[in-house]
Structure 1
Amino acid sequence: MSDKKTKSILLVGVGGQGTILASKLLTLGLMEEGYDVKMSEIHGMSQRGGSVSSQVRYGEKVWSPVIEKGSADMIVSFEKMEALRWLEYLKKDGKVVVNNHEMMPMPVIMGKADYSPDIIKEMQDNCKDVTVVNATEEAVKLGNGKVMNIILLGTIIKAMGLEDINWNKIVSENVKPAFVEDNLKAIQVGMSLV
């Protein structure tokens, strides 16, 4: 554990994208490394494509899992609109990693809301450090579209300087044996994208 200052990471997405699994693996890795870690999850009708967020805070001593507006070191968004929705939680010098993927939320499908065509531009106008990745596409290239969440975990590992943690051990102990190899490849792909 090199940096004692508390760091805050916000993972946001839509139900079914694996946001919670990525958060749990991140939390387990941080704990293994000796950090005090607090994690909280919010499921907004996640089974029906609703918003899902997970807040992970780690450091020498963390008192609360809650990330206040304007205090996240990093936002990782599994879906474009969710990145924009949570942008006010980012620190002034924070990082955003956005999966360039659209999942129409229920209000848009029902015609009660619009899905902005310029989400990436809006984020870049409001934030200095925005990295756009095609994690969904990269997961398909690996032969398993479901590892998109683990690719995004890889972007966190690299962007936050957490490469020294034994991710092979964390994945091997917490993922079904049949999927360990795909998940380990996905972490490497994610790390190469940022």
Structure 2
Amino acid sequence: MRCDIVIAGVGGQGNVLASRILARAAMEYELPVQTSEAIGMAQREGVVMSHVRMGAGNYGSLIPNGGADVLLGFELAETIRGLDKIKNDGVVIANSYTIYPVSVSLGISQYDPVGLVDYLKKNTQSLYLFDATALASQAGTVKATNIVMLGALEALKLLPYGGDHLKEVMLNMIPQKLHEINLKAFELGQQAVGGA
């Protein structure tokens, strides 16, 4: 089974760690996997887009426009920026949480969350939209937003490997002291889309 996933967000949201967890899980499941990241100029709150390609038949680490099976959107505006990557029948899992760019703080540009949500609803066929950052906070830290999103992805059964395998890999990649928070975050993500 092939699965191409784009993760769109901003720096500091754990985008790269999420892509590494997905890729490591594929490798340990003995699937071919390729990854790539495009990271913005700023470490925090700069644009970050990761590509994870799992399964045979991929001829490059970048997913072409219209080629992604799944778009994981960690931030609302960045989800919309990533929409051109998704297949017509692809699945969008989006965090409704917004991070206002510096240009908005400076009064140079505007950010309209309501308009962005409307646009997202009108331009996606299969959308799961929820506040993953609030769920991560409920689990113990907003830094677990990426794990909430992975839980949602797993619950939709879109991965070529099972949820127990993904959780095991996740726990092997994060410090022991953070296991309880991240397991809770994963579970809350599953529940957000009607799973587990």
- Relative to the length of structure 2, the TM-score reads 0.90
Answer yes or no: is 1:108 the counterpart of 2:104.
yes
Q: 1:164 to 1:148 in 2, by over 3 A?
A: closer
- Structure 1, unaligned runs of 5 or more: none
SS at match of 1:67: coil
Equivalent pair of 2:12/2:45 in contact (CA under 8 Å): yes
Supply the distance in 2 between the matched residues of 1:167 and 1:134 (Cα, whole angstroms): 22
Q: Show the 5 A alignment for 1:24-103.
A: 24-103=20-99
Partner of 1:22 in structure 2?
A: 18
Partner of 2:137 in structure 1?
A: 140
Give the Å deviation of 1:74.
0.8
Supply the distance in 2 between the matched residues of 1:34 and 1:63 (Cα, whole angstroms): 18
RMSD: 1.6
Equivalent pair of 2:136/2:145 in contact (CA under 8 Å): yes
Supply the distance in 2 between the matched residues of 1:87 and 1:164 (Cα, whole angstroms): 26
Partner of 1:176 in structure 2?
A: 175
Give the Å deviation of 1:72.
0.9
Give the Å deviation of 1:113.
2.6
Partner of 1:150 in structure 2?
A: 147
Cα displacement string for residues 114-167 of structure 1 (whole angstroms, at most 9, x for unaligned residues)? 213311110111111111111111111112221111001111222214435513
Equivalent pair of 1:154/1:186 in contact (CA under 8 Å): yes
Partner of 2:124 in structure 1?
A: 127
Supply the distance in 2 between the matched residues of 1:32 and 1:62 (Cα, whole angstroms): 18
- Relative to the length of structure 1, the TM-score reads 0.91
Cα displacement string for residues 96-127 of structure 1 (whole angstroms, at most 9, x for unaligned residues)? 11101110123333333321331111011111
- Between stretches 91-100 and 179-188, larger displacement belongs to 179-188
Cα displacement string for residues 44-71 of structure 1 (whole angstroms, at most 9, x for unaligned residues)? 0241411101000111343211111111
SS at match of 1:166: helix
Supply the distance in 2 between the matched residues of 1:173 and 1:14 (Cα, whole angstroms): 24
The one-letter amino acid paired with 2:166 is W
Supply the distance in 2 between the matched residues of 1:150 and 1:175 (Cα, whole angstroms): 11
Supply the distance in 1 between the matched residues of 2:76 and 2:25 (Cα, whole angstroms): 26
Q: Percent identity?
A: 32
- Between stretches 59-68 and 87-96, larger displacement belongs to 59-68
- Structure 2, unaligned runs of 5 or more: none
The one-letter amino acid paired with 2:191 is S
Supply the distance in 2 between the matched residues of 1:22 and 1:179 (Cα, whole angstroms): 15
**Structure 1: which 4+ aligned runs deviate by more than 3 Å?**
none
